[in-house]
Amino acid sequence: MTAQEALKEVLEALSEDDVERVVQYARSLGSQKSCASDLPPLRGLWKDLGERISEEEIRDARKEMWGQFPRDDF
């Protein structure tokens, strides 16, 4: 069964009101923009702040975050 045949079968089982809602929704899909396309790229977002994070700081943060994982107390 093709997607078109499946869609036709589903639409035939719906009421007229439901079919109208499906049509309105389908039409709105083409006009929607992706939220991701509106966002600026995140790479280098804070580069102008002049902060540098060393490998040692990253390693210490990972130790702190994962030091107690997994826990048995819950």
- Structural domains counted in the chain: 1
Residue 55 lies in a domain: no
For position 42, what pLDDT does the model report? Answer: 81
Residue with tokens 């995140």: 42
For position 36, what pLDDT does the model report? Answer: 63
CA distance linking residue 20 with residue 11, whole number of Å: 10
Q: Are 22 and 14 in contact (CB under 8 A)?
A: yes
Tens-place pLDDT, residues 5-15:
998 999 999 99
Tens-place pLDDT, residues 23-71:
898 888 877 666 666 777 888 888 888 888 899 999 999 999 998 888 7
Domain that residue 3 falls in: 1-31
In this prediction the pTM is 0.39
Residue 48 lies in a domain: no
CA distance linking residue 63 with residue 58, whole number of Å: 9
